[in-house]
Chain A
Amino acid sequence: MLRLFSGFAAVSALVAASSAQAQVKIGMIVSYSGQFADTGIQLDNGFKLYMKQKGDTVAGKKVEVIRKDVGGIAPDLAKRLAQELIVRDKADVLGGFELTPNALAAGDVSAEAKKMMVVMNAATSIITTKSPYIARTSVTTPMLNDALGTWAAKSGGIKKVYTLVSDFGPGHDALNAFKEAFTAAGGQIVGSALFPVANMDFGAFVQAAKDSNPDAIYIWTPGGTQPGAIGKALNERGVDTTKIKILGQDELTGVSALKSMGDLGVGIITAAMYDYNLQNPLNQEFVKAYQAEYNREPDIFSMGGYDGAQLIYRSLEKSGGKADGDSLIAAAKGMAWQSPRGPVMIDPETRDIILDVYIRKVEKVNGQLRNVEFAKIEKVKDPVKAKMAK
């Protein structure tokens, strides 16, 4: 009975037991249902595609994946699922995590059980500080918006910006990163508004932004239905994107957003770490395989999942199949590889990703809307953790 109470010792014993088996278990905690289901499913599609391409054996071990639905923002559930995956299913690695609160909650479990955890989408900077066993394969919100802010003031010829941001944690982070970089580079914020998370109608917000006569409107939304609605509002209010530029982050002009915006999206400038139109052979191959498998285009979430699986596989290869947290995270630190989105690396200090950020503009190419990249900022690191280190 006493032994039962000291779960810690039991878990340590477990670590020893599982590394002796010729099997590696990955527990995926993802939203397969609810409001964020599409994000989770695209992420998991990317993950599955990599496993399909590389087979389910790595470093002599068979990879088994256990999938758990967290159904949206539910940190209490995410934490329980992480605990159960480790205690009951004997998972060696935790993966998935498209939402920040869930990733933060599971981070505690990763730290206590000493298990590697790969964050494949959630984009708040602090997540990786929660446990020394966390690595991230997506991107952080500040990375993109810091790059966008600097670019807008220095190369974009933009002086006055109105900001329109979702009243939601990641929105605040994005805004702060953009504002700081933009004003540091000489820009000026002429007005701002926060819109409710469940907002449907953007007419009034866009009107207020337009009435303040800015050079550009900076918009951040968490994806979903809102980008389409914003595009329609911009068009309806007669915002001419050649006169007032629209700036935003990847999801504003994501695959489904562009579909519902149609031609209204032309001219919107966004910062992103990936787009399926990237012109490099590796990506073209990836997109082709993805379309063949799932009959739709990959997006940033697919990329996080794909490289998430890639990081786990590569780390296992490097550790010679040792799946305990210490061996795996040691292998992951400094890991660099060529991804369909360009060269990426896991920062050996912060375990966060280092990658190239693209500045793109929506254009009509052969009758189809595309995010066409026209500037690239290389080897971007998370600015928040860089500041924390100083």
Chain B
Amino acid sequence: MIGSFVGVLYDGFAYGMLLFLLSVGLSVTLGMMNFVNLAHCAFGMLGGFVAVTLINDLHWPFLATLPAAFVAAAAASVVFERVLYRRLYGKSDLDQCLLTIGIVFMSIASAAWLFGTVQQPVQLPSWLRGSVDIMGRGFGVYRFFLICVALALTGALIAMLEFTRFGARVRAAVDNQRMARGLGIDVDRVFMLTFALGSGLAGLGGALAIDITGLDPSFALAYLVYVLIVVAVGGLSSIGGSFVAATLLGVSDTAGKYYFPEISSFLIYLVMVGILMWRPAGLFGKR
């Protein structure tokens, strides 16, 4: 009983970390920059395809593909930011919605054209596969890896945004553009870099997730709902909030599947609606 409980907790936490990795970039773009970026998962998909191509065709080691996925998604996002996103900063969020959905549609068709509609085969290196047996329970190695990456990333992001000069500039630019400009901050550039950071994180999340989620052109839409749930429950612009929300959703979802499989498909929505009714701004939201 205790054994299964520990197992469920571990799996749930790891699943939560997967959700966190997929959505943390959105708490930067939607949360901090206040841009309704529904194309978030399209950048994630880009990261996924970069990783798969590098592994399967160029035989790169898995770990080396992760930074490549980050860089590719970040670089692509800069192009989009300069050409399209920038026009809509501070404009109607409905137009932002329409623009980014348009990008999603185009990314799905482009991915289908370039890579076909087939499920991309994802094979992890052998040291990340399988599980370790502790007291008769199997603990998945890749899950452990996901947890480590997520923890490291959370630490690094919070440190960067709270304690560095760049972080201070970002917060200033986001909170009060005009004031920030007055203080000599190049708001335009800060926004571009922040956006690249958010999209890069999406690409990294995509590359890490595809072993579990699989990868085909529908990726850009299929996980959008989950990602939005994490950000909304965590509270906008809070990295820590997203972390806690992802953990909570992951653990409750996994526990539901294990203990109450009859209602498991309802659970994630019930938890979300419940939390948002109790705290409409999310667990750690300021507004």
Q: State yes or no: do A and B touch (Cβ within 8 Å).
A: yes
B110 sits at the interface (CB 8 A): no
A37 sits at the interface (CB 8 A): yes
B119 sits at the interface (CB 8 A): yes
> Cβ of B138 and Cβ of A195 under 8 Å apart?
no
B92 to chain A, nearest CB (A): 28
Closest to B105 in A: A33
> Cβ of A37 and Cβ of B261 under 8 Å apart?
no
Inter-chain contacts of A229 with B (CB < 8 A): 212-214
- Name the one of A198, A203, A224, A236 contacting B119, with C-beta atoms under 8 angstroms: A224
- Name the one of B8, B133, B258 contacting A238, with C-beta atoms under 8 angstroms: B133
Chain A residues 20-44 with CB under 8 Å of chain B are 33-35, 37-38, 41
A256 sits at the interface (CB 8 A): yes
B7 sits at the interface (CB 8 A): yes
Query: Chain B's interface: helix, strand, loop or mixed, by majority?
Result: helix
B264 sits at the interface (CB 8 A): yes
B265 sits at the interface (CB 8 A): yes
A368 sits at the interface (CB 8 A): no
A349 sits at the interface (CB 8 A): no
> Cβ of A225 and Cβ of B213 under 8 Å apart?
yes
B257 sits at the interface (CB 8 A): yes
> Cβ of A37 and Cβ of B112 under 8 Å apart?
yes
Q: Mark B227-268, 1 if CB is under 8 A from A, else 0.
A: 000000000000000000000000000110110011011000
> Cβ of B140 and Cβ of A296 under 8 Å apart?
no
Number of chain A residues whose Cβ lies closer than 8 Å to a Cβ of chain B: 39
> Cβ of B217 and Cβ of A37 under 8 Å apart?
yes
Do A256 and B118 contact each other (CB < 8 Å), given the known contacts A236-B130, A262-B123? yes
Given the complex of chains A and B, what is the CA–CA distance between A204 and B250 in angstroms? 11
B125 to chain A, nearest CB (A): 11
- Name the one of A167, A203, A225 contacting B140, with C-beta atoms under 8 angstroms: A203
Inter-chain contacts of B140 with A (CB < 8 A): 203, 236
Given the complex of chains A and B, what is the CA–CA distance between A252 and B193 in angstroms? 44
> Cβ of B131 and Cβ of A207 under 8 Å apart?
no
Given the complex of chains A and B, what is the CA–CA distance between A235 and B262 in angstroms? 25
Inter-chain contacts of B7 with A (CB < 8 A): 207
Given the complex of chains A and B, what is the CA–CA distance between A201 and B120 in angstroms? 18
> Cβ of B214 and Cβ of A196 under 8 Å apart?
no
> Which of B117, B118, B129, B218 has its CB near the most chain A CB atoms (within 10 A)?
B117
> Cβ of B254 and Cβ of A201 under 8 Å apart?
yes
B76 sits at the interface (CB 8 A): no
Given the complex of chains A and B, what is the CA–CA distance between A189 and B7 in angstroms? 25
> Which of B119, B138, B142, B216 has its CB near the most chain A CB atoms (within 10 A)?
B119
Chain B residues 88-136 with CB under 8 Å of chain A are 108-109, 112, 116-123, 129-131, 133
Interface size band for B: 35 or more
B222 sits at the interface (CB 8 A): yes
B84 to chain A, nearest CB (A): 23
> Cβ of B117 and Cβ of A37 under 8 Å apart?
yes
> Cβ of A237 and Cβ of B138 under 8 Å apart?
yes
B146 to chain A, nearest CB (A): 11
- Name the one of B121, B131, B257 contacting A259, with C-beta atoms under 8 angstroms: B121
- Name the one of A194, A207, A226, A236 contacting B258, with C-beta atoms under 8 angstroms: A207
Inter-chain contacts of B120 with A (CB < 8 A): 260
A322 to chain B, nearest CB (A): 37
A200 sits at the interface (CB 8 A): yes
Given the complex of chains A and B, what is the CA–CA distance between A238 and B265 in angstroms? 26
A232 sits at the interface (CB 8 A): yes
A296 to chain B, nearest CB (A): 7
A228 sits at the interface (CB 8 A): yes
Given the complex of chains A and B, what is the CA–CA distance between A196 and B265 in angstroms? 5
A285 sits at the interface (CB 8 A): no
Chain A residues 146-202 with CB under 8 Å of chain B are 167, 193-201
Chain B residues 262-278 with CB under 8 Å of chain A are 262, 264-265
Given the complex of chains A and B, what is the CA–CA distance between A96 and B112 in angstroms? 20
Closest to A294 in B: B116
Given the complex of chains A and B, what is the CA–CA distance between A198 and B211 in angstroms? 15
> Cβ of A256 and Cβ of B121 under 8 Å apart?
yes
Given the complex of chains A and B, what is the CA–CA distance between A204 and B10 in angstroms? 10
Inter-chain contacts of A193 with B (CB < 8 A): 257, 261
> Cβ of B216 and Cβ of A201 under 8 Å apart?
no
> Cβ of A196 and Cβ of B264 under 8 Å apart?
yes
Chain A residues 131-150 with CB under 8 Å of chain B are none
> Cβ of A204 and Cβ of B258 under 8 Å apart?
yes
The 10 closest A-B pairs by CB, nearest first: A225-B214, A196-B265, A259-B121, A38-B117, A193-B261, A204-B258, A236-B140, A256-B119, A204-B257, A37-B117
Beyond A33-B112, A194-B261, A195-B261, list 19 extra A-B contacts (CB 8 Å): A33-B108, A37-B217, A38-B116, A167-B265, A193-B261, A195-B257, A200-B213, A205-B258, A207-B4, A207-B11, A208-B261, A224-B119, A225-B214, A225-B216, A228-B122, A229-B212, A256-B119, A260-B120, A260-B122
